[in-house]
């Protein structure tokens, strides 16, 4: 039985491959290689996908002669885990500092609907005492 580990402990290539599988939702070795900027050999990608499966990050199904891989956890669950790690590593677990950095990066791209959604979330957090 595979044991799920912390994605932050993965190597650069494993993380890149896992990110691609999350983005595509399902991917064969060839699909992954097409998305990589500088892909290693086919056998290397296949081996890394098998390692990710053994570590519990992906699972596969057979489609004809090829394996198609998909993440073992939902995008929502993975994004919360990644954000939690990011906040702990770079922002001392401060929601305000994390949001300030995000707004600093993307403030020019925010639409009125997104700003209204953020305000609603802030108002709800105040009301709920978070």
pLDDT digits over 82-91, tens only?
888 889 999 9
Examine the domain organization and report whether 93 and 46 are in the same domain: no
Does 114 have pLDDT greater than 50?
Answer: yes
Q: Which of 56, 71, 86 is the last residue of a domain?
A: 71
Q: What mean pLDDT comes out for the span 4-21?
A: 83
Closest C-alpha among 38, 39, 22 to residue 78: 22
What average pLDDT does the structure give for the chain? 88
Q: Is 3 exposed, middle or buried (0-12, 13-18, 19+ CB in 10 A)?
A: exposed
User: What's the pLDDT band for 2 if we cut at 50, 70, 90?
Assistant: very low
Is 119 a domain residue? yes
In this prediction the pTM is: 0.70
Question: Biggest alpha carbon distance in the chain?
Answer: 55
Domain co-membership, 11 together with 47: yes
65 and 17 in a common domain: yes
Considering 53, 71, 89, which residue would you say is the last residue of a domain? 71
Assign 3-state DSSP to the chain and report helix, strand, coil percentages, each to 5: 65, 10, 25
In a domain, 2, yes or no: no
pLDDT for 16 equals 92
Does residue 1 sit within a domain? no
Residue range of the domain that includes 50: 7-71
For the chain, percent of residues with pLDDT exceeding 70: 93
User: In Å, how far from its chain's centre is CA 25?
Assistant: 11
Residues 6+ apart with CB under 8 A from 103: 110
List, for residues 26-84, the tens digit of each pLDDT value: 999 999 999 998 999 999 999 999 999 999 999 999 999 999 999 998 888 888 888 88
Domain count, the chain: 2
- Pick the more confident residue, 75 or 20: 20
Same domain, 63 and 15: yes
Tell me what pLDDT residue 109 has: 78
User: Which domain CATH number covers 59?
Assistant: 1.10.10.10
Q: Is the domain of 40 the same as that of 92?
A: no
Distance CA 58, CA 22 (A): 9
Residue 1's pLDDT band (cuts 50, 70, 90): very low
Q: Distance between CA 20 and CA 35 in Å, rounded?
A: 7
């Amino acid at each position: 039985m595979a044991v799920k580990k912390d994605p932050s402990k993965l190597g650069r290539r494993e993380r890149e491959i896992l990110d691609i599988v999350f983005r595509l939702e399902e991917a064969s070795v060839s699909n992954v290689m097409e998305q990589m900027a500088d892909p290693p050999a086919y056998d290397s990608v296949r081996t890394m996908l098998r390692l990710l499966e053994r570590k519990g990050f992906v699972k596969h199904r057979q489609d004809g002669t090829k394996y198609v891989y998909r993440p073992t956890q939902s995008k929502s669950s993975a994004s919360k885990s990644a954000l939690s790690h990011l906040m702990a590593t770079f922002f001392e677990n401060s929601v305000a500092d994390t949001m300030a950095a995000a707004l600093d990066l993307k403030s020019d791209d925010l639409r009125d609907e997104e700003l209204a959604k953020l305000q609603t979330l802030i108002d709800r957090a105040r009301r709920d005492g978070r």
